Structure 1
Amino acid sequence: MIEGATQPIRLYGILAAAIALSTAAIWLASGEGLTATAFLGGIAVFLGAGLAFARMRPPAGSEDLAPPDWSVTVAAIERPGVAVAIVDRANRLVCANGAYSDWFGAGNAPPNLPLDRPALEALARTAREAWRDGAGAAEGIESADGTRRWAVRAERAGRGEDYLVWRFEGQAEEDFVADLARALGGPLGRLLSRSGVEAALVGADGIVRSAAAGFSTRAAGDAAATLAGQDFASLLRADERDRIFFAREGRRGSPQTLIHVPLGEAAADRAPDADAGPSLMLLVDAGVGLGGSGEQTGSAATPQLEALLGALPLGLAMTDRDGRLLFANRPFRRAAGIEDKPLPQFPSDLVVREDKGPVADAVRRFGKGPASATDMAVRLRGQPDDPVSLGIAGVRGLGEAAVLLSLVDSTEETRLKRQVAQATKMQAVGQLAGGVAHDFNNVLTAIIGTCDLMLLRHTPGDSDYDDIQQIRANSNRAAALTRQLLAFSRQQTLRPEVLQLPDVVSEVSQLLRRLLGEKIELKVHHDRELGPVRADPQQLEQVIVNLAVNARDAMQSRGDGSGKLSIATRRVTARDVRKMGSEIIPEGDYTVLVVQDSGGGIPPEHLTKIFEPFFTTKQQGRGVQGMALGGTGLGLSTVYGIVKQSGGFIFADNIPDTAGAKAGARFSVYLPVYRGEMPGTPKAVEAAPAAEWSGGGQVLLVEDEDMVRAVAERALVRAGYTVTACADGEEGLAAVANGGAFDIVVSDVVMPGMDGPAMARAIRKARPALPVLFMSGYAEEQLRNDIDIADMHFIPKPFSVKQISDKVGAILGSAR
Structure 2
Amino acid sequence: MATLPAIPQSTAFRSAALIAIGCGVAAALVILGLIGSVPVAAAFLAAALVVTGGLIAFRRLFPASASTALEPDWSVARALAESSPDAIAVTDRAGRLVCANNRYEAVFGGFPTPPGLPFDASGVERLGNAGRAAWRDGDAAIDRLLINGTNLSAHVSRAGEDENLLVWRFHAPQGLDLAQTMENLIAGATGDRLGSAGIMAALIKPDGRIRAANRVLRARAMGHEEGAIIGRDFAQFLITDANGMARFEREGLTQNPLRVLQIPFLDGEDAPMLVALIDEEESGQPAIGESASAHIKSLVSLMPFGIALIGGDGRFLQMNDAFARAASVDPHSPPIYPGDLVVREDKGVVADAIRKFAGGATHSTDLAVRLKDHPDEPVALSIAGARGLGNSAVLLSLKDNSEETRLKREVAQATKMQAVGQLAGGVAHDFNNILTAIIGHCDLMLMRHSPGDSDYDDIQQIRANSNRAASLTRQLLAFSRQQTLRPQVLQLPDVISEVSNLLKRLLGETVTLTVKHGRNLSPVRADPGQLEQVVVNLAVNARDAMMSKDSRGTGTLAIQTYAVTAGEVRKLGSDILPAADYVVLEVADTGGGIPAEILPKIFEPFFTTKEVGKGTGLGLSTVYGIVKQSGGYIFAENVKGGAKGGAGAVFKIYLPVHTAGALVEPTPPRVLPKEKPVDLWGTGTILLVEDEDMVRAVAERALTRQGYTVLTAEHGEAALELLAAHPRPDLLISDVMMPLMDGPTMVRHARARYPDLPILFMSGYAEETIRKSIDLDNVDFLAKPFSVQELAEATRAVLLRAAALAK
- TM-score of Structure 1 vs Structure 2, range by shorter chain: 0.5 to 0.7
Q: Give, in whole Å, the separation in 2 of the partners of 1:564 and 1:478.
A: 34
Q: Contact between 1:442 and 1:708, CA under 8 Å: does it hold in 2? A: yes
2:706 maps to 1:719: yes
Shift of 1:348: 5.6
Q: Which residue of 1 aligns with 2:261?
A: 259
> Structure 2 length as normaliser, TM-score?
0.67
Shift of 1:793: 0.9
Q: Which residue of 1 aligns with 2:652?
A: 668
| Secondary structure at 2:733 match in 1 | strand
One-letter code aligned to 2:276: L
Superposed CA deviations along residues 101-149 of structure 1, whole A, max 9, x for unmatched, are xxxxxxxxxxxxxxxxxxxxxxxxxxxxxxxxxxxxxxxxxxxx9xxxx
| Secondary structure at 1:605 match in 2 | coil
| Secondary structure at 1:386 match in 2 | strand
Shift of 1:399: 4.9
Q: Give, in whole Å, the separation in 2 of the partners of 1:599 and 1:658.
A: 9
2:762 maps to 1:782: no
Q: Which residue of 2 aligns with 1:744?
A: 731
Q: Which residue of 2 aligns with 1:236?
A: 237
Shift of 1:783: 2.0
Shift of 1:393: 3.7
Q: Contact between 2:680 and 2:792, CA under 8 Å: does it hold in 1? A: no
Q: Which residue of 2 aligns with 1:220?
A: 222
1:194-343 matches, cutoff 5 A: 198-200=200-202, 206-207=209-210, 209-211=212-214, 213=216, 215-216=217-218, 218-221=220-223, 226=227, 229=230, 231=232, 233=234, 235-237=236-238, 245-249=247-251, 256-261=258-263, 280-284=274-278, 304-319=295-310, 326-339=317-330
Q: Which residue of 2 aligns with 1:569?
A: 561
Superposed CA deviations along residues 149-202 of structure 1, whole A, max 9, x for unmatched, are xxxxxxxxxxxxxxxxxxxxxxxx99887666555665642433xxxx543456
2:406 maps to 1:415: yes
Q: Which residue of 2 aligns with 1:596?
A: 588
Superposed CA deviations along residues 213-256 of structure 1, whole A, max 9, x for unmatched, are 3x34542345x565664636165346799985533246666765
| Secondary structure at 1:786 match in 2 | coil
Q: Contact between 2:680 and 2:793, CA under 8 Å: does it hold in 1? A: no
Shift of 1:301: 5.4
* Change over 3 Å in CA distance of 1:669–1:327 after alignment to 2: closer
Shift of 1:767: 1.3
Q: Give, in whole Å, the separation in 2 of the partners of 1:766 and 1:190.
A: 85
Q: Which residue of 1 aligns with 2:195?
A: 189
Q: Which residue of 2 aligns with 1:509?
A: 500
Shift of 1:373: 4.7
Shift of 1:446: 1.7
Q: Contact between 2:202 and 2:210, CA under 8 Å: does it hold in 1? A: no
- 1:762 maps to which of 732, 749, 759: 749
One-letter code aligned to 1:810: A
2:797 maps to 1:810: yes
Q: Contact between 1:702 and 1:727, CA under 8 Å: does it hold in 2? A: yes
Q: Give, in whole Å, the separation in 2 of the partners of 1:462 and 1:298.
A: 106
Q: Give, in whole Å, the separation in 1 of the partners of 2:659 and 2:317.
A: 66
Q: Contact between 1:691 and 1:813, CA under 8 Å: does it hold in 2? A: no
Q: Contact between 2:482 and 2:766, CA under 8 Å: does it hold in 1? A: yes
Q: Give, in whole Å, the separation in 1 of the partners of 2:249 and 2:346.
A: 43
* Change over 3 Å in CA distance of 1:338–1:576 after alignment to 2: closer
Q: Which residue of 2 aligns with 1:648?
A: 632
Shift of 1:586: 3.7
| Secondary structure at 1:695 match in 2 | coil
One-letter code aligned to 1:653: E
How many residues align? The count is 612
Q: Structure 2: which 5+ runs fail to align?
A: 1-155, 157-173, 176-180, 663-671
Q: Give, in whole Å, the separation in 1 of the partners of 2:335 and 2:558.
A: 52
One-letter code aligned to 2:760: L
* Change over 3 Å in CA distance of 1:458–1:338 after alignment to 2: same
Q: Contact between 1:244 and 1:256, CA under 8 Å: does it hold in 2? A: yes
Shift of 1:307: 4.5
Superposed CA deviations along residues 308-328 of structure 1, whole A, max 9, x for unmatched, are 323434311234679765543
Q: Structure 1: which 5+ runs fail to align?
A: 1-144, 146-172, 266-275, 623-630, 679-684
2:464 maps to 1:473: yes
2:445 maps to 1:454: yes
Shift of 1:497: 2.6
Superposed CA deviations along residues 25-67 of structure 1, whole A, max 9, x for unmatched, are xxxxxxxxxxxxxxxxxxxxxxxxxxxxxxxxxxxxxxxxxxx
Q: Give, in whole Å, the separation in 2 of the partners of 1:673 and 1:293.
A: 74
Q: Give, in whole Å, the separation in 2 of the partners of 1:519 and 1:785.
A: 48
Shift of 1:445: 1.5
* Change over 3 Å in CA distance of 1:295–1:508 after alignment to 2: closer
Q: Give, in whole Å, the separation in 2 of the partners of 1:686 and 1:653.
A: 42
1:13-52 matches, cutoff 5 A: none
* Change over 3 Å in CA distance of 1:297–1:665 after alignment to 2: closer
Q: Which has the larger displacement, 308-317 or 795-804?
A: 308-317
Shift of 1:765: 0.8
Shift of 1:518: 1.4
Q: Which residue of 2 aligns with 1:797?
A: 784
Shift of 1:722: 1.8
RMSD: 3.9
Shift of 1:796: 0.9
2:526 maps to 1:526: no
Shift of 1:391: 2.9
Q: Give, in whole Å, the separation in 1 of the partners of 2:286 and 2:763.
A: 84
Q: Contact between 1:184 and 1:212, CA under 8 Å: does it hold in 2? A: no
Q: Give, in whole Å, the separation in 2 of the partners of 1:791 and 1:179.
A: 64
Q: Give, in whole Å, the separation in 1 of the partners of 2:680 and 2:436.
A: 26
Superposed CA deviations along residues 350-376 of structure 1, whole A, max 9, x for unmatched, are 445665676566656666678555545
* Change over 3 Å in CA distance of 1:320–1:499 after alignment to 2: closer
| Secondary structure at 1:604 match in 2 | coil
Q: Give, in whole Å, the separation in 1 of the partners of 2:463 and 2:409.
A: 44
Shift of 1:333: 3.3
Q: Contact between 1:257 and 1:396, CA under 8 Å: does it hold in 2? A: no
2:640 maps to 1:638: no
> Structure 1 length as normaliser, TM-score?
0.66
* Change over 3 Å in CA distance of 1:468–1:251 after alignment to 2: farther
Q: Which residue of 1 aligns with 2:131?
A: none
Shift of 1:804: 1.1
One-letter code aligned to 1:603: P
Shift of 1:492: 0.6
2:420 maps to 1:426: no
Q: Give, in whole Å, the separation in 2 of the partners of 1:367 and 1:236.
A: 32
Q: Which has the larger displacement, 574-583 or 761-770?
A: 574-583
Shift of 1:763: 1.1
Q: Contact between 2:686 and 2:730, CA under 8 Å: does it hold in 1? A: yes
One-letter code aligned to 1:440: F
Q: Which structure is larger by alpha-carbon Rg, 1 or 2? A: 1
* Change over 3 Å in CA distance of 1:321–1:687 after alignment to 2: closer
Superposed CA deviations along residues 654-685 of structure 1, whole A, max 9, x for unmatched, are 3321686543322222223333379xxxxxx9
Shift of 1:757: 1.1
Q: Which residue of 1 aligns with 2:14?
A: none
Q: Contact between 1:237 and 1:250, CA under 8 Å: does it hold in 2? A: no
2:384 maps to 1:390: no
